[in-house]
């Protein structure tokens, strides 16, 4: 069980920013203990260019990131998920497909950087804010002893992580928690 890889699906409506950021961060920070995916209920069909720019600046791979429907993960041949985490309020309120294996679910609402209007700098700042918040939550998630927690305790921790906000200025090092 110690070598088990946990599959995590991050969901939002458009699958262009928040869920993509979470996928990239967990795949990087999870160090092989987690395999992250992302999808949307109504995918935009493209990844936000400011998301790709920030991830590239942080040295995270972007070549396999794409906007896709959550239907891909409800198919019989799809990887079985251990966790399904919504990162936007719209997706949290929608009726989700039946996920094979009955994964544990949680909601980690994050403001949508793709909805940011204004200058490119304002859009970059919104993406950076979402990145830092998701980075913090993922750091907390990967620190959990997932293999040893009972289901109720694990669910409680996942819900608490979803209420975690950014921790001030300790994000000077973007990939540090």
pLDDT at 1: 46
On whether residue 177 sits in a domain, the answer given is no
* Arithmetic mean of pLDDT, 59-83: 93
On whether residue 169 sits in a domain, the answer given is no
| pLDDT above 60: residue 159 | yes
Q: Which residue in 26, 52, 85, 88 is the catalytic one?
A: 88
pLDDT at 93: 57
Residues in the chain: 177
Q: Which band of pLDDT confidence, cut at 50, 70 and 90, is reported for residue 170?
A: very low
On whether residue 71 sits in a domain, the answer given is yes
On whether residue 1 sits in a domain, the answer given is no
Question: Active site includes 88?
Answer: yes
Number of structural domains (the chain) is 1
pLDDT at 177: 41
On whether residue 174 sits in a domain, the answer given is no
On whether residue 176 sits in a domain, the answer given is no
Q: Which helix (H) or strand (E) holds 55?
A: helix 49-57
For residue 158 the two structure tokens come to 């996942």
| pLDDT above 80: residue 44 | yes
Q: Which band of pLDDT confidence, cut at 50, 70 and 90, is reported for residue 123?
A: very high
Q: Tell me which residue range forms the domain holding 95.
A: 6-162
Q: Which residue has the higher pLDDT, 172 or 47?
A: 47
Q: Which band of pLDDT confidence, cut at 50, 70 and 90, is reported for residue 165?
A: confident
Q: Which band of pLDDT confidence, cut at 50, 70 and 90, is reported for residue 102?
A: confident
On whether residue 153 sits in a domain, the answer given is yes
> Which ranges of the chain does DSSP label H, i.e. alpha helix?
18-29, 49-57, 89-93, 120-143, 151-162
Question: Active site includes 13?
Answer: no
Q: Name the pTM for this structure.
A: 0.88
Question: Active site includes 96?
Answer: yes
Q: Which residue in 11, 12, 91, 134 is the catalytic one?
A: 12
| pLDDT above 60: residue 104 | yes
Q: Which band of pLDDT confidence, cut at 50, 70 and 90, is reported for residue 96?
A: low
Supply the mean pLDDT for the chain.
Answer: 88
- Quickly list DSSP for 145-169: -TTTS-HHHHHHHHHHHHT----TT
On whether residue 27 sits in a domain, the answer given is yes
Q: Which residue in 62, 74, 96, 104 is the catalytic one?
A: 96
Return d(Cα 49, Cα 68) in angstroms, integer.
16
Q: What is the CATH number of the domain that holds 52?
A: 3.40.50.2300
pLDDT at 167: 52
């Amino acid at each position: 069980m110690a070598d088990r890889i946990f599959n995590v699906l991050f969901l939002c409506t458009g699958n262009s920013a928040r869920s993509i950021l979470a996928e990239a961060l967990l795949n990087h920070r999870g160090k092989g203990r987690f395999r992250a995916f992302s999808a949307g209920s109504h995918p935009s069909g493209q990844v936000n260019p400011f998301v790709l720019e920030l991830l590239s600046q942080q040295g995270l791979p972007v070549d396999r990131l794409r906007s896709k429907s959550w239907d891909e993960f409800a198919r019989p041949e799809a990887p079985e998920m251990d966790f399904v985490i919504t990162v936007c309020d719209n997706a949290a309120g929608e009726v989700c497909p039946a996920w094979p294996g009955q994964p544990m679910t949680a909601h980690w609402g994050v403001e949508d950087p793709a909805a940011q209007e204004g200058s490119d700098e304002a859009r970059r700042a919104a993406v950076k804010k979402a990145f830092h918040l998701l980075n913090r939550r993922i750091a907390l998630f990967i620190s959990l002893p997932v293999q040893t927690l009972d289901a109720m305790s694990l669910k409680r921790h996942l819900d608490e992580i979803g209420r975690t906000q950014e921790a001030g200025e300790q994000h000077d090092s973007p990939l540090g928690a």
